[in-house]
Structure 1
Amino acid sequence: MVKKVAVILSGCGVYDGSEIHEASAVFVHLSRDGAQYVVFAPNIEQMHVVDHIKGQPCEEKRNVLTESARIARGKITDLTELKVSEFDALIIPGGFGVAKNLCTWAVEGKECTVIKPIEDVIKGFHAAKKPIGLCCISPVLAAKILPGCEVTVGCDKECEKWPYAKTAEDIKQLGCKHVNKQVNEVHVDEKNKLVTTSAFMCNSPLHKIFDGIGEMVNALLKMK
């Protein structure tokens, strides 16, 4: 039976939206594994817009759904139309848009709030015992919404290779278990049906990040 997967994006571009390479890798691996997918995004204004050359916010406003459509090649649906019953699994790629547009982690860390449509979707898939795949920074959504869950964002010791390792400590402080994994590995929380991988939380060659996301997709699709 062909699996049908909902993919939620958070904009277009690493600093203020979905990480494009991660989103593309998700699509490629889903396609290779014979799964169907539908892309969703919330119809909301971005927290801010970042000039990706300068790495600085600029005086501009953009819409998360409109920007996400760039990655989805125009084939995208408003998140309000996502029905858990129509899908077998959920994937949310990373990028700062997750921490800025889907929740307030970028500003408030572990004290953040998650926007209600995202919270409802994650709780819906979890209640239905359907697998959820999260990569890069997006595992913080599960850590905030599903107390006691197990995730990985890579390593919990900060160094040049792992510049965002402090995120693991925040996840632990939320009462969740963080499991150290290499960039090409995943952690599977069987109880909560979560599959997580670090992706660009690691300073690593692109092909290793691509492979790690492939492991995430593969493990997700094998879950029953």
Structure 2
Amino acid sequence: MGKKVAIILAGCGVYDGSEVHESSAVMVHLSREGAQVEFYAPDIDQMHVVHHIKGQPTEEKRNVLAESARIARGNVKDLAMMKAKELDALIIPGGFGVAKNLCTWAVDGKNCTVSKHVEDTIKAFHSAKKPIGLCCISPVLAAKILPGCEVTVGHDTECQTWPYAKTAEALEDLGCTHVNKEVSEVHVDVKNKLVTTSAFMCNAPVHEIYDGIGKMVREVLKLA
């Protein structure tokens, strides 16, 4: 029986939800490794809905759980229902939805607040010494919740697109250690069982992002 891994989604679409390619890469690599996957998302309204061609917010309202079902092919549960004791690991793909719907990083940066259910989930896995995989902007969640942890979002001289500008510096300000890594690499914080990789935080071809996420998935499963 493969490891049971929870994936937290934040909607559907890079500008207002989970990054679709990152989410898909996580799913494919977990499948290849024989893991069982359970999808979760908070049952809340999105911060806003972005027109993905224009890159501008609209007046439309959408629900994070319902939008996440687009990626999970309908098989997604309310995050409030998650029981960490029944799972072996947790992975959170990136996308602006992490910084908008799972926390307020997009607006408040290092002074952000994290959704209660997201914070409770990360703390539950951490206290149970179960591994957590984070890519793209999602390492900010660990940095905010687990002071002193080690993460990567790529390089501290890159990622100058809002809300990613100066992310590495902000993580250091939160008391964490940022480790510079290439897109194809991961950083493993053995003490905290955190595995992070930069994904679309770096300007790289999608196949390199896919490969980096694959390394993250494999390291998470090793720690599980």
* TM-score interval, normalised by the smaller of the two chains: over 0.9
Q: Any idea what SS the aligned residue of 1:208 has? A: helix
Ranges in structure 1 where 5+ consecutive residues have no aligned partner: none
2:171 alignment partner AA? I
- 1:95 is matched with 95
- 1:202 is matched with 202
**TM-score, structure 2 length as denominator?**
0.97
1:62-115 per-position Cα deviation (integer Å, ceiling 9, x unaligned): 000000000000011110110001100000000000000000000000000001
- 2:73 is matched with 73
Instruction: Output aligned runs, 1:36-47, within 5 Å.
Output: 36-47=36-47
Distance 1:159 1:64 in 2: 26
- 1:126 is matched with 126
- 1:183 is matched with 183
Distance 1:5 1:62 in 2: 26
Instruction: Output aligned runs, 1:12-23, within 5 Å.
Output: 12-23=12-23
- 1:86 is matched with 86
- 2:172 is matched with 172
Deviation of 1:166 after TM superposition, in Å, equals 1.1
- 1:54 is matched with 54
1:126 alignment partner AA? H
Distance 1:82 1:145 in 2: 18
- 2:192 is matched with 192
Ranges in structure 2 where 5+ consecutive residues have no aligned partner: none
- 1:31 is matched with 31
**TM-score, structure 1 length as denominator?**
0.97
Distance 1:222 1:184 in 2: 18
Deviation of 1:2 after TM superposition, in Å, equals 1.5
Is it true that 1:145 corresponds to 2:171 in the alignment? Answer: no
Distance 1:67 1:128 in 2: 30
Distance 2:169 2:113 in 1: 18
* Cα pair 1:4 1:87 within 8 Å, conserved: yes
Deviation of 1:159 after TM superposition, in Å, equals 6.9
Tell me the number of residue pairs that the alignment of Structure 1 and Structure 2 aligns. 223
CA RMSD, Structure 1 to Structure 2 (Å) = 1.4
Aligned residues: percent identity? 75
Distance 2:7 2:158 in 1: 30
* Cα pair 1:125 1:132 within 8 Å, conserved: yes
